[in-house]
Structure 1
Amino acid sequence: MKKVYVLGGAQTDFGRNWSKEGKGIIALLKEVIDDGLKNIGVTYNDIKNLNKEGRIACFVGNFIGEYFVDQGHLGALLTEVNDAFYGVPSARYEAACASGSVALDAGITKIRAGDYDLVLVIGWELMKTVDSKTCGDFLGRAAFYESEAKNIDFPFPKLFGRLADETVKKYNFDNKQYLDCLAKISVKNYNNAKRNPNAQTKKWFMNEEQARERGTATNPTIGGMLGTSDCSQVTDGAAFVALSSEKIIIEFDKVKEGCPIVKGWGHRVAPMKFEEKMKESINNEYIIPWTRQAVMDAYRRANMTVDDIDFFETHDCFTSSEFAAISAFGITEPGKELEAIQSDLTSFNGAKPVNPSGGLIGCGHPVGASGVRMFLDLYKQLTRRALGYQLETANNGMMLNIGGSATTNYTFIVGKDE
């Protein structure tokens, strides 16, 4: 199979409210695509030329644009951005909050197979078009809506609150100790976001005292044991990543060694309903076993172990999901996650940093864009372009992007071409 190179990309500032700016989908797409093409050194005229030869395609990740912006057929919408996209194969991919990763997977597969030489992947979501309660209801379609979300206010905080309950029960954790560790995760990601110029919460305040005081005016309870400090953000935003074959590296005079490659990937789907997921985990040491399997698939395909990974970007839609990801990655054994958090192993300066970008809690979570944004952050760290939040050591990075209550699980390992 052919190598898949990562040329780079772009991300919008996740702190923006596009509706308040009087801007919509086309403005969002045009900005991120313009910036992305500039960053990778490709022009719209180049796109036209590659299209004449049938060597380029576009893949769009979006969860639920039909609800948030009353628009479907989102792959074809690129033709409204620039006429260079006339005739370019493009389509929208959806898997709830893992929609961006499905689009990445499609693009990676097409290049590996030799079908295209350049693939542009764009993930986006505009979520601030509605009030928070309506937003929560829309997002409930990522669960089994009829039984897990319909007529339930903010269903996902409740589902991931149940994950917290089940984690405490499975590993016999002390409630306070567990919740204090979730508070440390929240504060870590808020602090990391302060370094990231595109993070939604870069100017927000959070400390451990506030994060621990759930059920108060400054940190209201949002689902089960979880408070608002444990929750990712409602976000407008887009991310762009360009993937290529070696032919493009040569034609566009890129420094081959400067472009990371995709080394491993995993994709597993767990039962849709949360109750069924918990039944699956009863006799398994992992609380979310299919997530662990997606991680193991990526390690196997990359011929790597956790020891080879320098940093991680993970789907912290809630602190309870990042907690579970620590053992899923293999950073610790299941039930030992408390030790990793308490020792700052996963902190920015720790041996195994998790979410140096700020993650979904700090950076933001425009659901269709999050997978692409995480992938872009792997690229930034590997090429020393993570301005303000660059890690000292970054040779191989891994990401985990989940859709629903860890229903769709996607992992990617990106590293330097050796």
Structure 2
Amino acid sequence: MKPSKKIFMIAGYNTISMGTGRREFNPKKERPGLEHYLKEAGLGALQQIGGAGNVDEGVVGNFMASRFNKQAHLGAFLGMIDPQLRLKPSTRVEGACASGGLALVTGIKSALSGSAEVVLALGVEVQNTVKAIYGADILAGAGWFQRRKEGHAYFFPDSSATGPGPILRNMAGRNPVRLLPAGTAMPLKMPASALPPRNMKTKPQTWKRWL
């Protein structure tokens, strides 16, 4: 359908994507959280349009913050960016890797509907809060999680009653634990000889004996 009016996307702002490729990166220093990046990006955009008083609505695009950061309901954080955004309509949308684009589309729909003239759309991710092997399981939620993948990219616990027992992810301690028949838990320690070979492509089933 042809839009009923012209829509303009303006006042873009990008935060620094911090990683090993940047000189200031230091793995021993704690990185900022979601709140920091929401405020930095939000203020960066608001300064270009004359302040938060010109915004009618807000949208936050994010994937799996409830698991990576233990924080959901991100739309409510817009009031943290600027006091003038408090009590204004805001929501959070999620669409895996398209979450940021979905925030833009949602804002465009609000503008076309006439419920808002100016929408602040934000896309924010902080996914370095867990080890990569746990993060892979979280990111697998972008697909059909119950359709278990076999291979080296990520793996899921074996629910077989005759096996060594299901392995759970202890997100607080970041260590795998095994449930014993009695229902108690103990740390799972693998000997060095049990680790998978470097060339997992030739032996993709190696991990199965430990699940």
TM-score (norm 2): 0.63
Equivalent residue in structure 2 for 1:2, among 5, 18, 21: 5
Q: Distance in 2 between matches of 1:89 and 1:146?
A: 35
* Equivalent residues of 1:61, 1:123 under 8 A apart: yes
1:43 and 2:51 matched: yes
Question: How many residues are matched?
Answer: 151
Q: Deviation at 1:27?
A: 1.1
Q: Distance in 2 between matches of 1:43 and 1:120?
A: 11
Where does structure 2 lack aligned partners over 5 or more consecutive residues? 20-24, 156-197, 203-211
Q: Distance in 2 between matches of 1:18 and 1:75?
A: 30
Equivalent residue in structure 1 for 2:37, among 28, 31, 47: 28
Match of 1:308 in 2: none
Match of 2:102 in 1: 102
Q: 1:69 to 1:18 in 2, by over 3 A?
A: farther
Q: CA RMSD in A?
A: 2.7
Q: Deviation at 1:82?
A: 2.6
Match of 1:142 in 2: 142
Highest CA radius of gyration, 1 or 2?
Answer: 2
* Equivalent residues of 2:43, 2:81 under 8 A apart: no
Indicate the SS of the match to 2:146.
helix
* Equivalent residues of 2:60, 2:123 under 8 A apart: yes
Where does structure 1 lack aligned partners over 5 or more consecutive residues? 51-55, 157-219, 225-418
Indicate the SS of the match to 1:134.
helix
| 1:122-271 alignment, distance < 5 Å | 122-149=122-149, 153-155=152-154
Runs of 4+ with deviation above 6 angstroms: 220-224
Match of 2:81 in 1: 81
Q: 1:59 to 1:223 in 2, by over 3 A?
A: farther
Q: 1:222 to 1:137 in 2, by over 3 A?
A: farther
Q: 1:117 to 1:133 in 2, by over 3 A?
A: same
Q: Distance in 1 between matches of 2:200 and 2:89?
A: 42
TM-score (norm 1): 0.33
Indicate the SS of the match to 2:77.
helix
Q: 1:223 to 1:127 in 2, by over 3 A?
A: farther
Larger fraction in helix: 1
Q: Distance in 2 between matches of 1:41 and 1:95?
A: 27
Q: Deviation at 1:69?
A: 0.4
* Equivalent residues of 2:133, 2:154 under 8 A apart: no
Q: 1:118 to 1:138 in 2, by over 3 A?
A: same
Q: 1:42 to 1:152 in 2, by over 3 A?
A: farther
Q: Distance in 2 between matches of 1:104 and 1:61?
A: 8
Q: Distance in 2 between matches of 1:96 and 1:145?
A: 13
Q: Deviation at 1:108?
A: 0.7
Q: 1:41 to 1:102 in 2, by over 3 A?
A: closer
Match of 1:91 in 2: 91
Q: Distance in 2 between matches of 1:223 and 1:32?
A: 41
Q: Distance in 2 between matches of 1:115 and 1:105?
A: 14
Identify the structure with bigger relative contact order (alpha carbons < 8 Å, sequence gap 6+): 1
AA aligned to 1:11 is N
Q: 1:5 to 1:137 in 2, by over 3 A?
A: same
> What whole-Å deviation, never above 9, does each CA across 1:120-149 have from its counterpart, x for those lacking one?
100011011111111111100011101135
| 1:291-310 alignment, distance < 5 Å | none
AA aligned to 1:42 is G
AA aligned to 1:43 is G
Q: Distance in 1 between matches of 2:152 and 2:91?
A: 32
Q: Deviation at 1:58?
A: 0.6
Q: Deviation at 1:113?
A: 2.1
Indicate the SS of the match to 1:96.
coil
Q: Distance in 2 between matches of 1:141 and 1:26?
A: 23
Q: Distance in 2 between matches of 1:18 and 1:97?
A: 26
* Equivalent residues of 1:148, 1:155 under 8 A apart: no
* Equivalent residues of 1:2, 1:113 under 8 A apart: no
Q: 1:68 to 1:82 in 2, by over 3 A?
A: same
Match of 2:209 in 1: none
